[in-house]
Amino acid sequence: MILRETTDILREIELLLESCKVGYAVIPKKYREELEKLSSDDSSGNQSVLSEIKRNMFAGMGSLNDVWISEDNGHVVKDEVSVNKELERLRNKLRQILENY
């Protein structure tokens, strides 16, 4: 179940970022594609990818935490407040899923 939830949230993040022309969209796409290749039976492979997602998307500079969608950053966006609230909601949802595995 965690694979499906994680894949779904990564896809939502990817689509949101792509819709605003945010280059970081390739990162959730990469992890989503990796998870889609795994089977639910491969617990060691699953844990490895999930740990990598958690580490690389939420820790350090250049992580998903650093993404701010803004015209000033060269992104295509009409309502920065709304789109960044949605991004924060998705980030929190992904973080919660990954904390519970």
Taking only the tens place, the pLDDT of each residue in 69-90 is: 999 999 999 999 999 999 999 9
What gap in Å lies between CA 42 and CA 44, rounded to an integer?
6
Domain count, the chain: 1
What gap in Å lies between CA 100 and CA 7, rounded to an integer?
15
Q: Which domain holds residue 10?
A: 2-99
Lowest mean pLDDT among 25-29, 77-81, 97-101: 97-101
How is residue 91 written in tokens? 């980030």
